[in-house]
Amino acid sequence: MDISSVKKNLSDNFSLENTRKIDIITGSNMAGKSTFLRTVGINAVLAFAGAPVCARSMQITVMNLFAYMRIRDSLNESISTFKAELNRLQLLLEVLKSDGKVYFLIDEMLRGTNSVDKYRGSKAVIEKLVAQKAVGIVATHDLQLAQLEEKYPHYVRNCYFDIQVLNGEMIFDYKLKDGECKTFNASLLLKQIGIEVDE
């Protein structure tokens, strides 16, 4: 990557609290969820290698890093996107059984299936991760998953990236906040390409 092409370098504070071990991050499209997961992951890899990190300061325990990001289908192996996602989740569960010191990064899980099964399956996966005392971050557009904080208040924490819409323009601050996302932009983005969505 050409460093001179980077337009913004934003900082954000993030800490995994002692009691709450799973962060569920919600937010609108392009708000920064996936980029944040990549940033956490890259900084962890750099720190584990003894290299400088992109942070003012960082403290991290040595643990295995497990990424569930950009899962793709494979025509050569006759594997659909959903099956590839299931394979990756199965691997995560196996790794957790064999080595408890794992930090996972999950970006939009089970996107390869319908919205009902996606929610039910994602909820079941997070509950399984809670039961296994797993540690990590789940980024999702599925706002119903934020309800898991009520069920597991001492283990799950909700965070979100917000946007403001002013005069039809989206303003992103890329700052992680406590709570769940309340502002959405998919309809506005569709409108920008000429597709009207009923409100």
152-188 per-position pLDDT tens digit: 999 999 999 988 888 878 888 889 999 998 877 777 7
Q: What is the pLDDT of residue 3?
A: 41
- Indicate the residue type of 133: K
Decide if pLDDT at 86 tops 80: yes
CATH topology (fold) of 18-192: Rossmann fold (3.40.50)
Task: Using DSSP, state whether 160 is helix, strand or coil.
Answer: strand
What are residue 164's phi and psi, to 5 degrees?
A: -120, 140
Decide if pLDDT at 6 tops 60: no
Question: pTM for this structure?
Answer: 0.88
What are residue 100's phi and psi, to 5 degrees?
A: -70, -15
Tokens of 49: 């290698």
Q: Between residues 140 and 57, which one has the greater pLDDT?
A: 140
Q: What is the pLDDT of residue 155?
A: 94
Q: What is the pLDDT of residue 17?
A: 59
Q: What is the pLDDT of residue 19?
A: 64
Tokens of 44: 């962890």
Q: Where are the domains of the chain?
A: 18-192
Q: What CA–CA distance (Å, rounded) separates 156 from 112?
A: 25
Q: What CA–CA distance (Å, rounded) separates 23 from 21?
A: 7
Q: What is the pLDDT of residue 16?
A: 64
> pLDDT for 7-23, tens place per residue?
566 667 777 656 669 99
Q: What is the pLDDT of residue 2?
A: 43
Best CA proximity match to 125, nearest among 97, 164, 86: 86
